[in-house]
Amino acid sequence: MKFYIETWGCQMNDHDSEKLSGLLQLEGYLPARSRDEADLVLLNTCSIREKAVHKVWSELGRLKEEKAQRPLIIGVTGCLAQQDREDIFRRAPQVDLVLGTQALQQLPRLVAEARAGKARLIDTGEYPDNHLFPPEVTRRSSGAKALVTIMEGCNHACTYCVVPGTRGAERSRPVADILAEVRMLVERGYREVELLGQNVNSYVGGCTFAELLTRVAQVEGLEWIRFTTSHPMNFTRELAEVLVSEPKVAPFLHLPLQSGSNAVLRRMRREYTVEQYLERLGYLGEGRSRLHLSTDFIVGFPGETESDFEETLGMLDRVGFEASFSFIYSPRPHTPALRLKDDLPAEEKSERLARLQARQGELTWAAHQRFVGRTLSVRVESRGADEGGCWLARTGEWVNVKLASAAERALPFGELVQARITEAGPHFLRAELA
């Protein structure tokens, strides 16, 4: 029996798919090269925004047609599965099984029952030890870095967010387990890890998050450490000190702001003010210049005025974000924000988003231009050159690089090489081997 997994959403979902793949292969199932040759198709879903949900329902429609043509087991897992549960069977009766975010290890049982002819199988129960998934079972993608879960869930209560409902309360892995996994990954050839959690810097698995970074950095053979996603309320002076002083921590920080207006932040229940956010960035001191800083913005949140939006625009220049991820507010089921009056026309929301992204584009391009003439360590992230003879690489600051190399020279996938930056664009850098 062959399986195929389609994944939407964040790095946590990507890693969950690696875990699901490992569970199935442990049972003797084989990964299919394409959906067409699969006997089992799993949709590992995201529900953080409406657009992601629409994509899932569209795929389920196509799978219904495929199932009419050949035997096929269809499963839905991830955040949409946890959120909508039995309703998925009502809207998409072609689905055979629904698997929640904390029930990953129940997948082999559900698949076996589906193969035996049982229908409408569902497990969205709470399994408190889900975050203790055995790392040796995981079948990792062939990426240049390895994903490592250190905690799951979120204890914050932002009014727009489904994560507390779909991922549960915060649960941290023991520090010894994390260190053992990182050592295993280094032994397997990985030189970079990304530590994952819905609120990664709230980690409390036997030490603080800052202490965890320091201990992971002591693993011999490891070169870079990344992490996502952080919450400003858990950003401490101790963490800032590690970010600016530990050379193995990649010089990149993603710290979501969401809005530059205190009034909007209050309606979002973000638990901090703009002033407090700036205070926490101040913990970095002169080390701020070492880091590329990115953030998230939600545009058109209920009640956002033009003045509120102008305050958000102002934060771009005030902070000098090197990058940001911005989206129009997406109403999500079962969230408190649904009770807020949302009467801003869609056209106005789109116009505000365009203005924000245009200004961010200018700032990002300016940040990229500061790399020109420098020689940097970059990690090779492609296994071959493109038609133009360039290899894909990435800086520690998380900037894409098109790296030129002589046609006869193959670059070492996953390894660091020295690159001289020759040109900067709005989306990537061009470089040559130093």
Mind listing the domains of the chain with CATH numbers?
2-123 (3.40.50.12160), 130-368 (3.80.30.20), 375-433 (2.40.50.140)
Q: Is the per-residue pLDDT at 407 higher than 70?
A: no
Find residue 123's DSSP bridge partners.
99
Average pLDDT over residues 384-397: 93
Determine the pLDDT at residue 403.
96
Determine the pLDDT at residue 78.
97
Q: Is the per-residue pLDDT at 42 higher than 70?
A: yes
3-state SS of the chain: helix, strand, coil percent to 5? Answer: 40, 20, 40
What digits encode the pLDDT tens for the residues 112-134?
999 999 999 999 998 878 778 99
Distance separating alpha carbons of residues 178 and 137, to the nearest angstrom: 15
DSSP state of 266: H
What digits encode the pLDDT tens for the residues 266-302?
999 999 999 999 999 999 999 999 899 999 999 999 9
Determine the pLDDT at residue 113.
98
The position carrying tokens 């365009």 is 354
Determine the pLDDT at residue 406.
73
Find residue 193's DSSP bridge partners.
146, 225
Average pLDDT over residues 371-383: 96
The answer to whether 139 and 107 have CB atoms below 8 angstroms apart is no
Average pLDDT over residues 379-392: 92
Determine the pLDDT at residue 141.
86
This prediction's pTM: 0.95
The answer to whether 290 and 250 have CB atoms below 8 angstroms apart is no
Q: Which helix (H) or strand (E) holds 424?
A: strand 416-424
Q: Is the per-residue pLDDT at 409 higher than 90?
A: no
Phi then psi for residue 181, to 5 deg, are -65, -45
The position carrying tokens 């994509």 is 55
Distance separating alpha carbons of residues 382 and 206, to the nearest angstrom: 37
What digits encode the pLDDT tens for the residues 76-98?
999 999 999 999 999 999 999 99
